[in-house]
Amino acid sequence: MTTVQSTLISVITPAFNAEDFIKETIQSVIDQTYDNWEMVIVDDRSQDGTVGYIKEMQAKDSRIKLIELEENSGSAVARNTAMDCAEGRYIAFLDSDDRWLPEKLEKQLQFMTEKDIAFSFTKYVRVLKDGSWTGYFSKTPDTVNYDDLMKRCVIGCLTVMLDRDKLGEVQMANIRTRQDYALWLKLARQGHLAYGLPEVLATYRVVGDSISSNKRKAARQNWYVFRNIEKQSLPASIWYFSHYAVIAIKDLIKYKIIVKSRSGKKLSGHQEN
């Protein structure tokens, strides 16, 4: 039987014009206490110095793999390309402007192994562009099922780890946004519960006032997912969307209040359980 220590984890990272943060993202993987990983980065035709920075880091660590797409295709294609090339039993997702805390892979793999589960996520904290801690932590229920996800997606892509031995090959829907949400719904619809590890093990970077605009875009795309991906009826879609909308508005208000009161504080390795 494969031991935990010998289990390869493939880190899936799409990158596009990410020169401002990509080195921090890669370094957060290099700094992991669990070292049996490969990081598969797929560059989506960046027009800045992203590829150069990745190659610089790659020269220092052979576990970093770079794939360059011939044309800009979106994060779904980039992630799917990375997953096609990934060799690990487990896959974990990390976008090119986010970071993991050092024990993320070790603790999450142990959590999944002990519980014998296929799908897990952890708590994360939002940080501002300069790394300042906002004090906003994600929700982490013990388990999340399909109905829960249709009402609210509490699963941050940067925290997810999947066991492909249990799930089979994994691919995301080829849509420009919310392809990760569509995958979580697909897995949940197939009967796989998502298990939450209630510890902050990742930082999600918010650039400028992108939360407000992202909420609007997410609302439109959620509706598309309900109707076109999940094939929900119009009444069911309205029912689920109403839950999503109310929670999203409350979430945005809470976030803005927290940022206003605590934007000057730094993350500095802070964790909240």
Q: How confident is the model at residue 253 (pLDDT cuts 50, 70, 90)?
A: confident
Q: What is the DSSP string of 69-100?
A: -SS---HHHHHHHHHHH---SEEEE--TT-EE
Compute the distance between CA of residue 7 and CA of residue 36 in angstroms, rounded to an integer.
7
Compute the distance between CA of residue 82 and CA of residue 196 in angstroms, rounded to an integer.
25
Range in 27-31, 32-36, 180-184, 225-229 the model is least confident about: 225-229
**Is residue 215's pLDDT more than 80?**
no
**Is residue 79's pLDDT more than 90?**
yes
Q: Which residue in this structure is represented by tokens 């999203």?
A: 248
Q: Where are the domains of the chain?
A: 6-262
Instruction: Tell me the pLDDT of the chain averaged across its residues.
Output: 89
Q: How confident is the model at residue 98 (pLDDT cuts 50, 70, 90)?
A: very high
Compute the distance between CA of residue 57 and CA of residue 44 in angstroms, rounded to an integer.
18
6-262: CATH topology is Spore Coat Polysaccharide Biosynthesis Protein SpsA; Chain A (3.90.550)
Instruction: Give pLDDT, residue 136.
Output: 85
By CB neighbour count within 10 A (0-12 exposed, 13-18 middle, 19+ buried), where does 217 fall?
A: middle
**Is residue 222's pLDDT more than 60?**
yes
**Is residue 32's pLDDT more than 90?**
yes
Instruction: Give pLDDT, residue 3.
Output: 55
Q: For residue 64, give Cα distances in angstroms to 39, 140, 191, 221.
A: 5, 30, 33, 32
Instruction: Give pLDDT, residue 160.
Output: 98
Compute the distance between CA of residue 136 and CA of residue 129 in angstroms, rounded to an integer.
14
Task: Please tell me which residue, 91 or 268, carries the higher pLDDT value.
Answer: 91
**Is residue 135's pLDDT more than 70?**
yes
Q: Across-strand partners of 12?
A: 40, 93
Q: Which of 256, 91, 213 is CA-nearest to residue 159?
A: 91
